[in-house]
């Protein structure tokens, strides 16, 4: 049993003061509003939150510091690769994993990159484990799609797509064929097989779309095939907020901090994330590691708090909201029975001075600041 | 309030002034003179005859930050290859290439800089060549490069390590190794030494633009600005600089903490970063927010960069903040990494880098301490004029 005293506890929904959390094995067994008089706690922290969840990450697939050798993010020999699985390229030795724990990030949906219009299936993983299988919470999960410039740029000189029309065509084509395959199954086809759970509503599409026109293309395609879906990136979403709200679309916005080096990214601004979060649209904030280091996801939230987003909503956007999108019961929250993925901070976690002091995954202390 | 009028003094009163070099003044006032300089710093003053006034009560008044290594305006945002003018990779040695001829002052990165409180940048060629060309120092507000520039040339961009050898290996040209990179630099400096001697003699050589720039390096008018990540590369370059008696500043310095005492002994300053990034290459593996503090402790003059557009320039303060709280530097030292220290590295400490009477009136009114991520730069002044305002 571990007893943790928190001056401020964010439990996934709200902030409680002077809370005491009891962890037994892999789970939280109780959250109390006060401890016993004179009690000595195993840990005391200014702030305690659920471990953060990065909802669209390349961690472990594109390992840091390795260049080509460590880059297994995009199987860009073909623009349509639904049969790829992130689990098969995931390295548990990416040094970014332990750095993520140093920033209180405990969980990620690892997805293939954005070079292919259909990238493949993702894996929900913990940031720690001796093998990819040890890290895995659930896989395969999520089908990665990508619109916009990246597939055009990657493939256009060699094959379709060369245009946004080509992007949409390839997605519409493969989903049409997979649907037909489901009805009159003939010869085994691995690409179509990989798409069947998505067509059946058992899996979810994660469609990267940065520009507003690409966002609406994503919505159009998803509606045509009745997909459950999330728009990721979404830098330009403030332009189509009314449409997204009307259709009850879920968005994973981010990273909030990233060089506006490409046309697709040029309207990225923290204000756009603020507009989404304020609109009532279900919005997660992502690091999109390695586009931005997951370790400092917490600090990107500060830019939103400084522009009027409440700490509760900012912290929720990296905990309970992504856990809800992923359907991970017991994650992204701290209550009796929840998984003991916890981050302890020295001050407000969204500020640079809120340095991470301890991180727990499944009740095990996986990071201690020296 | 007519803040943009050229000839009007502005009094900013009531804020917490982080002077950087002269402590913190609570509830202090700064008078921006009509000559673009800081006319006075007061402990408490709310009115000066003839001055427009800004109430900064509850806010922070901070010197404009200095990003001493960027590609601002040379590697343009948004335009892709069309706007990439930072590497003339047709020859590994191009000293005569000038940043001044390639800076696009309407690039949106300049507004980003002002929104992040950065009022001075060093901007220049990239690291594709061993000798990339001449960098400049400039203010971030203005419409004409010639009005914005402070130093031209401010330094000669040079590069060691992975980048030049990767670029020229792909072209099957020298350099394809670290030895080749050192050879290109040593040969250029040797030729320049010879040129300089002949230039002083009775039969001067035909003017050579490359050689003229290298003579400025040999005369210690400008330093080499050496892109270097690996510690062994830094030591190689210290060796070459000693051979020619020239000055050098290390850029990036990812692994510099490993040789910090050697760098301190050689009198080499280091501009660390970009730090708010995932390590992209083998030679950046030891990237750490602790490096600036370790260097500083060893007596190395140290600054922090964004390397914009590698990471967005407005994030400079966040890098310094993380160096303060996670990297062991503390607030004052980390603030110096993005103000007075880069000013000293540039040789501009008499003009920028602190809130001091007589210096350029480059300062920023922040909603809170600039090391809080939730703080916002509300007003940025350059040369005493309002250059940027939040939500304006």
Return the H-helix or E-strand segment holding A150: helix A149-155
β-strand partners of A48: A9, A344
Q: Regarding predicted confidence, which is higher, B88 or A322?
A: A322
pLDDT at B3 over 70: no
| Beta carbons of A210 and A234 less than 8 angstroms apart | yes
pLDDT at A162 over 60: yes
Interface test with A, best of B316, B373, B391 (most A CBs within 10 A): B373
Burial class (CB within 10 angstroms; exposed 0-12, middle 13-18, buried 19+) of A88: middle
Of the CA atoms within 13 Å of residue A114, those in its CB half-sphere come to: 22
For the segment A228-241, the average pLDDT, to the nearest whole number, is: 97
3-state secondary structure string, B188-224?
HHHHHHHHHHHHCCCCCCCCCHHHHHHHHHHCCCCCE
Output the CA–CA distances (angstroms, integers) from residue A226 to A179, A180, A205, A223, A283, in the order listed.
Answer: 11, 15, 11, 5, 21
Read off the pLDDT of residues B182-203 as tens digits, 9 standing for 90 and up: 999 999 999 999 999 999 999 9
Of B56, B32, B76, nearest to B356 by C-alpha is B32
pLDDT at B316 over 70: yes
Please state whether B138 falls in left (phi above 0), alpha (psi between -120 and 50) or beta.
Answer: beta
β-strand partners of B363: B63, B381
Note the ipTM here: 0.96
β-strand partners of A147: none
Which B residues in the span 66-85 are in contact with A, Cβ-Cβ below 8 Å?
77-80
| Pairing of β B377-382 and β A27-32 | unpaired
pLDDT value for B80: 66
Read off the pLDDT of residues B235-249 as tens digits, 9 standing for 90 and up: 999 999 999 999 999
Of the CA atoms within 13 Å of residue A250, those in its CB half-sphere come to: 18
Chain A: closest CA distance from residue B147 (Å): 26
For the segment A310-338, the average pLDDT, to the nearest whole number, is: 98
pLDDT value for A270: 97
- Structure token pair of residue A336: 């009796």
Count of beta carbons in the 10 Å neighbourhood of residue A157: 8
Residue percentage of chain B with pLDDT more than 90:
92
pLDDT value for B1: 42
CB-based contact B376 A257, cutoff 8 Å = no
Read off the pLDDT of residues B135-169 as tens digits, 9 standing for 90 and up: 999 999 999 999 999 999 999 999 999 999 999 99
pLDDT value for B2: 47
For the segment A328-343, the average pLDDT, to the nearest whole number, is: 98
Phi, psi of B377 (to 5 degrees): -75, 120
Structure confidence at residue A359 as a pLDDT band (50, 70, 90) = very high
pLDDT value for A141: 98
pLDDT value for A67: 86
Of B244, B287, B37, B77, nearest to B158 by C-alpha is B244
pLDDT value for A316: 98
d(CA B120, CA B17): 19
- Chain B residues with CB inside 8 Å of A95's CB? 279, 285
Chain B: closest CA distance from residue A137 (Å): 24
CB-based contact A260 B108, cutoff 8 Å = yes
pLDDT at A182 over 50: yes
- Candidate from A95, A293, A306 with C-beta closest to B375: A306
pLDDT at B7 over 70: no
Chain A: closest CA distance from residue B146 (Å): 25
3-state secondary structure (DSSP) of residue A21: strand
Angle subtended by helix axes A212-224 and A164-183, to nearest 10:
10
β-strand partners of A108: A54, A125
What's chain A's average pLDDT?
A: 97
d(CA A217, CA B14): 51
Structure confidence at residue A88 as a pLDDT band (50, 70, 90) = very high
- Structure token pair of residue B65: 């930050």
Return the H-helix or E-strand segment holding B358: none
Of B276, B285, B282, B275, nearest to B252 by C-alpha is B275
Structure confidence at residue A34 as a pLDDT band (50, 70, 90) = confident
| Beta carbons of A340 and A23 less than 8 angstroms apart | yes
Of the CA atoms within 13 Å of residue B126, those in its CB half-sphere come to: 20
Count of beta carbons in the 10 Å neighbourhood of residue A44: 15
Find out if CATH 3.40.50.2300 is the number for domain B65-70+84-100+125-135+151-351. no
For the segment A283-310, the average pLDDT, to the nearest whole number, is: 98
pLDDT value for B8: 85
Phi, psi of B359 (to 5 degrees): -80, 165
Phi, psi of B151 (to 5 degrees): -140, 130
Of the CA atoms within 13 Å of residue B181, those in its CB half-sphere come to: 28
| Pairing of β B385-389 and β B377-382 | antiparallel
Of A358, A338, A346, nearest to A26 by C-alpha is A338
**A14 contact partners, CB below 8 Å, separation of at least 6:** A312
pLDDT at B5 over 80: no
Count of beta carbons in the 10 Å neighbourhood of residue A153: 14
Of B387, B388, B374, B366, nearest to B12 by C-alpha is B366
pLDDT value for B40: 96
**A55 contact partners, CB below 8 Å, separation of at least 6:** A108, A109, A230, A232, A252, A284, A286, A322, A325, A326
d(CA B341, CA B68): 9
Interface test with B, best of A315, A352, A353, A357 (most B CBs within 10 A): A352
pLDDT value for B67: 98
pLDDT value for B391: 85
pLDDT value for A332: 98
d(CA B219, CA A365): 58
Of A229, A239, A236, A279, nearest to A254 by C-alpha is A236
Read off the pLDDT of residues A91-108 as tens digits, 9 standing for 90 and up: 999 999 999 999 999 999
Instruction: Indicate the range of A39-53, B84-98, B306-320, B348-362 predicted with least confidence.
Output: B84-98
- Structure token pair of residue B335: 């603030």
pLDDT value for B78: 66
Task: Kindly state which CATH superfamily the domain B1-63+353-392 is placed in.
Answer: Urease, subunit C, domain 1 (2.30.40.10)
Of B225, B234, B292, B224, nearest to B265 by C-alpha is B234
| Beta carbons of B113 and B72 less than 8 angstroms apart | yes
pTM: 0.96
Chain A: closest CA distance from residue B285 (Å): 5
Interface test with A, best of B77, B278, B315, B367 (most A CBs within 10 A): B278
| Beta carbons of B148 and B139 less than 8 angstroms apart | yes
Nearest-10 Cα torsion for A315, A321, A323, A325: -160
| Beta carbons of B96 and B209 less than 8 angstroms apart | yes
- Chain A residues with CB inside 8 Å of B324's CB? 352-353
d(CA B240, CA B245): 9
d(CA A135, CA A119): 21
Could you give the domains of chain A?
A: 1-50+332-370 (2.30.40.10), 52-328 (3.20.20.140)
Domain borders along chain B are: 1-63+353-392, 65-70+84-100+125-135+151-351
What's chain B's average pLDDT?
A: 95
d(CA B15, CA B227): 39
pLDDT at A35 over 90: no
For the segment A195-215, the average pLDDT, to the nearest whole number, is: 98
Which B residues in the span 199-228 are in contact with A, Cβ-Cβ below 8 Å?
none
- Chain A residues with CB inside 8 Å of B310's CB? 259
CA A277 to the chain's CA centroid: 16
pLDDT value for B75: 87
Phi, psi of B360 (to 5 degrees): -55, 140
pLDDT at A54 over 60: yes
């Amino acid at each position: 049993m571990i007893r943790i005293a928190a001056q401020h506890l964010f439990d996934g929904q709200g902030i409680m003061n002077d809370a005491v959390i009891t962890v037994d094995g892999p789970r939280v067994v109780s959250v109390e509003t006060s401890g016993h008089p004179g009690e000595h706690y195993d840990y005391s922290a200014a702030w305690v939150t659920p471990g953060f969840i990065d909802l669209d990450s390349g961690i472990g697939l594109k390992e840091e510091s390795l260049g080509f050798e460590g880059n297994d993010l995009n199987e860009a020999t073909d623009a349509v690769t639904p049969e790829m699985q992130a689990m098969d390229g995931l390295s548990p030795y990416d040094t970014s994993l332990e750095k993520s724990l140093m920033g209180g990030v405990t969980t990620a949906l690892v997805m293939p990159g954005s070079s292919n219009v259909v990238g493949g299936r993702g894996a929900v993983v913990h940031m720690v484990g001796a093998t990819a299988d040890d890290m895995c919470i659930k896989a395969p999960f999520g089908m990665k799609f990508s619109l916009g410039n990246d597939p055009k740029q990657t493939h256009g000189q060699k094959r379709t797509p060369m245009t946004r029309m080509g992007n949409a065509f390839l997605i519409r084509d493969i989903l049409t064929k997979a649907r037909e395959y489901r009805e009159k199954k003939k010869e085994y086809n691995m690409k179509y097989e990989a798409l069947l759970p998505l067509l059946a509503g058992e899996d979810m599409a994660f469609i990267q779309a940065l520009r507003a026109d690409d966002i609406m293309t994503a919505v159009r395609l998803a509606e045509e095939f009745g997909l459950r879906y999330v728009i990721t990136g979404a830098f330009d979403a403030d332009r189509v907020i009314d449409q997204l709200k009307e259709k009850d679309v879920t968005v994973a916005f981010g990273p909030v901090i990233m060089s506006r080096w490409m046309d697709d990214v040029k309207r990225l601004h923290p204000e756009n994330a603020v507009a989404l979060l304020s609109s009532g649209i279900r919005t997660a904030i992502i690091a999109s590691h390695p586009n931005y280091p997951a370790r400092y996801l917490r600090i990107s939230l500060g830019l939103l708090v400084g522009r009027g987003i409440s700490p509760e909503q900012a912290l929720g956007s990296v905990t309970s909201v992504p856990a809800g999108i992923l359907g991970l019961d017991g994650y992204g929250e701290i209550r009796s029975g929840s998984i003991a993925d916890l981050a302890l901070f020295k001050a407000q976690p969204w500020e640079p001075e809120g340095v991470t002091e301890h991180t727990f995954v499944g009740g095990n202390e996986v990071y201690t600041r020296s | 309030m007519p803040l943009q009028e050229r000839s009007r003094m502005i009094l900013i009163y009531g804020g917490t002034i982080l002077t950087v070099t002269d402590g913190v003044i609570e509830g202090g006032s700064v008078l921006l003179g009509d000559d673009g300089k800081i006319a006075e710093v007061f402990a408490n003053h709310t009115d000066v005859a003839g001055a427009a006034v800004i109430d900064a009560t509850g806010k922070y008044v901070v010197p404009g930050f200095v990003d001493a290594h960027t590609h601002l305006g040379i590697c343009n945002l948004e335009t892709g290859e069309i706007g990439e003018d930072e590497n003339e990779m047709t020859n590994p040695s191009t000293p005569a290439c000038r940043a001044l001829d390639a800076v696009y002052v309407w690039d949106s990165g300049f507004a980003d800089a002002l929104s992040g409180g950065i009022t001075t940048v060093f901007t220049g060629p990239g690291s594709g060549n061993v000798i990339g060309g001449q960098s400049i120092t400039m203010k971030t507000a203005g419409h004409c490069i010639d009005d914005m520039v402070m130093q031209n040339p401010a330094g000669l961009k040079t590069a060691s390590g992975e980048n030049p050898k990767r670029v020229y290996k792909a072209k099957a040209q020298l350099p394809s190794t670290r030895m080749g990179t050192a050879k290109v630099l040593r040969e250029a400096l040797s030729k320049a030494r010879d040129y300089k001697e002949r230039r002083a003699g009775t039969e001067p050589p035909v003017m050579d633009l490359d050689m003229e720039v290298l003579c400025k390096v040999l005369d210690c008018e400008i330093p080499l600005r050496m892109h270097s990540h690996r510690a062994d590369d830094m030591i190689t370059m210290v060796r070459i600089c000693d051979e020619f008696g020239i000055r050098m500043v290390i850029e990036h310095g990812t692994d510099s903490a490993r040789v910090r005492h050697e760098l301190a002994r050689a009198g080499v300053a280091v501009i660390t970063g970009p730090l708010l990034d995932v390590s992209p290459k083998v030679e950046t593996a030891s990237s750490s927010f602790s490096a600036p503090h370790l260097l500083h402790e060893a007596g190395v003059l140290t600054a922090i960069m964004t390397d914009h557009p590698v990471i967005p320039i407005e994030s400079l303060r966040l890098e310094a903040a993380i160096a303060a709280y996670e990297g062991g530097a503390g607030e004052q030292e980390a603030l110096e990494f993005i103000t007075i220290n880069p000013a000293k590295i540039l040789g501009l400490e008499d003009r920028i880098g602190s809130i001091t009477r007589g210096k350029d009136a480059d300062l920023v009114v922040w909603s809170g301490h600039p090391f809080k991520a939730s703080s916002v730069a509300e007003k940025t002044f350059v040369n005493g004029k309002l250059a940027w305002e939040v939500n304006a």
